Structure 1
Amino acid sequence: MRRAGAPDKAQDWPSAACFGRPMHNACATPLRWGLVGPGKIAQRFADALSAVPGSRLAAVQGGRPSHAEAFAAHWPAAVHHELAALLADPGVDAIYIATPHQAHAAIALAALDAGKPVLCEKPLAATAAQAQAVVGRTAERGVFLMEALWSRFLPSWQQLRAWLEAGEIGSVHTIQGTFCFRLPYDAGSRLYAPALAGGVLLDIGVYAFSLAQWVMSAQGERAFGGFDVSGVLAPSGVDLHVAAQLHWPGGAVAQFVIGFDASADNACRIHGQRGTITLHPNFWESTRVTLQRRGEPERTLELPLRHNGFEYQIEAAAACIAAGQHENAAIPHAHTLAVAELSDAMRRRLGVRYPFE
């Protein structure tokens, strides 16, 4: 692990793909990807493939054939009009799922049944029960599955973890952050639609809760101990604004405000016995991290992305698939399930219900 005083270059990380260290071209395992859901986030994934040696986009499938064809015209790939055809394609080695949340679980189950490794956009599923079903299926089939929580693989998040594991700020007692932006209400938007598993908890809350989980697991806290939550619902009934406090058995707390109705600085600060680590805005994609130890000059590292940030998770997934792993140690299935259960519990307390539950 890299400690304070070590070189400030992101490329000094060792190659340890299945834990999630940025590999910087260390992983050249050939992998042909099939993409389901050719929308905005899928554009970023396709672009990132150009920065991963050996990986390429092989095929695309979407609910609207015209969208899939337009996507493939920009990012050259075969087009399948049916999911079954994509999953049966011998030229596809692994599946990336980027559909709206409510469809994630069904597509992941079908892909695993077809023997195709899966990288699924966060959240893995719309409910904890769905997530449990998907994780159970990957164990049955012996096929790789990973929630595409790309932030955990970024150089800044890896540096944060290294400082925590090195004890640079001592035991963590408080985590504080925001993830807020203005998104005018639109009943037709997937983010406001109950049928599409809309709301802030699933769409952006997962980043906050997963960061807190990532921080606390570095000091041996393996489970959430409890939570307090309050919020405001949108006219459609999904969660619009959430203030949450998480508790751990050891006494640490995490406080987050998450919303589609306001702006915030969107940094995250981790306070410990001997200092503070700050992931600068926006914390989920930050390239800047600061260590401030009591009585010492602060140390800020600039850790730019090699491409657009998605390359690291693609490399990590490819390396695990090549090694015959069923999960990635940086985002294990247990972490995915714990956040899904937390989100479920918060939605129930706020009064959010999805029609498919």
Structure 2
Amino acid sequence: MTGIRPVRWGVLATGGIAHTFAEDLRLIPDDAELVAVGSRRAEAARRFADRHGIAPVHTHGTWQDLAADPDVDVVYVATPHSAHHTAAALCLEAGKAVLCEKPLTLNLGQARDLVSIARKRNVFLMEAMWTYVNPSVLRMQELIADGAIGEVRSVHADFSISLPFDASHRLHDPRQGGGALLDLGVYPVSFAHLLLGVPDAISAWAHLNPQGVDDNTGILLGYDSGPVAVLSCSLGTQTAQRASVNGTLGRMEFAGDFFHADGFVLHRQGHEPEEVRLPDSPGNGYTHEAREVVRCLRAGATESPFVPLDGTLAVMATMDAVRRQIGVRYPGE
């Protein structure tokens, strides 16, 4: 890419994931440059800027100032879920490309609004579903398309962690879009959508915490053509976070951390198990999604073919249906 300048990034919010993403941008200096930060608190923005070498002129104490920064090409939105819509809409309306942490918004209505703004203004928007651009997952899709395991008939996926109840923690707080489903369950649901598409039937059950958000959730997706997806997420137990894709001629097993795995085991009828391992990604794994954004922006694309906006909307519709069944509503809905 000699002669092509790096895409200039701004980070909106200064929490842990914002720092992690900023650190990964350093690993792709030919493609990306972190130039700005925006926070609702000027002091938080200054601390973030000091840590990541951002110039004072690009250290913004409001989201609006970041969105208006003429030296920013794309903004990474790293707020809690409850603020995704407001933050992303502000940047899109200012003409800034946006990579927004998952889930894109709290609900389908908000997600549709962001997609409408992006398409109306012809501005790039992508949910930060890093699983969809993970090399292992891309290789899995290639093998399935080649018929390695025949027709996919079931998908099993779990993402659970152990997090003691704390009413103020964002994952337990409905005001911050808390609950296992939106933070963790979005990965199993997205994984199932990637492999099987939009379900024809959705069944769900959950236990709710004292504040009314789910802390242990099970989901069954059914497809009229025969496949099923069995999914779970929890805040009450640490699991291996496994996934399996099961076909008529074999299966693929992700032993752990399937949402950003570095490989899987392919089991084919009549063959010994085969370990499929991709080179370790540098840093914390965010470089793949950052590079995909850069690739799209340089190509003049307004959405990624790997993380299409209609696909994001379909996942949001499924999660809305799950929340209706388990009885989780957020303030203002």
Structure 1, residues 4-28: CA drift from partner, whole Å, max 9, x if none? xxxxxxxxxxxxxxxxxxxxx8996
Q: Which moved more, 1:125-134 or 1:245-254?
A: 245-254
SS of aligned partner of 1:191: coil
Using the size of structure 2 for normalisation, the TM-score is 0.95
> What amino acid does structure 2 have at the position aligned with 1:254?
A
For residues 5-84 of structure 1, what are the structure 2 equivalents within 5 Å? 30-52=6-28, 53-77=30-54, 78-84=58-64
CA positional deviation for 1:306: 3.0
Does 1:196 pair with 2:171? no
Unaligned runs of 5+ in 1: 1-24, 217-221
For residues 288-303 of structure 1, what are the structure 2 equivalents within 5 Å? 288-303=263-278
C-alpha separation between the residues in 2 aligned to 1:26 and 1:199? 45
Structure 1, residues 58-112: CA drift from partner, whole Å, max 9, x if none? 1111123222221111111131001111111111111110001011111111111
Contact 1:246 1:254 in 2 (8 A): yes
CA positional deviation for 1:341: 1.1
Unaligned runs of 5+ in 2: none
Identical residues among aligned pairs (%): 35
Q: Against the structure 1 CA distance between its residues 241 and 32, is the aligned structure 2 distance closer, same or farther, given a 3 Å change threshold?
A: same
C-alpha separation between the residues in 1 aligned to 2:238 and 2:37? 35
Does 1:345 pair with 2:315? no
Contact 2:203 2:325 in 1 (8 A): no
> What amino acid does structure 2 have at the position aligned with 1:354?
Y
Q: Identify the residue that residue 232 of structure 1 maps to in structure 2.
A: 207
C-alpha separation between the residues in 2 aligned to 1:257 and 1:26? 46
C-alpha separation between the residues in 2 aligned to 1:162 and 1:29? 32
> What amino acid does structure 2 have at the position aligned with 1:34?
G
Contact 1:29 1:319 in 2 (8 A): no
C-alpha separation between the residues in 2 aligned to 1:42 and 1:212? 27
Using the size of structure 1 for normalisation, the TM-score is 0.89
SS of aligned partner of 1:130: helix
CA positional deviation for 1:319: 1.0
SS of aligned partner of 2:150: coil
Contact 2:82 2:106 in 1 (8 A): yes
> What amino acid does structure 1 have at the position aligned with 2:69?
D
C-alpha separation between the residues in 1 aligned to 2:191 and 2:4? 28
Aligned-residue CA RMSD (Å): 1.5
CA positional deviation for 1:43: 1.4
Q: Identify the residue that residue 90 of structure 2 maps to in structure 1.
A: 110
Q: How many residues of Structure 1 are paired with residues of Structure 2 in the alignment?
A: 328
Contact 2:41 2:62 in 1 (8 A): no
Contact 2:31 2:291 in 1 (8 A): no
Contact 2:77 2:100 in 1 (8 A): yes
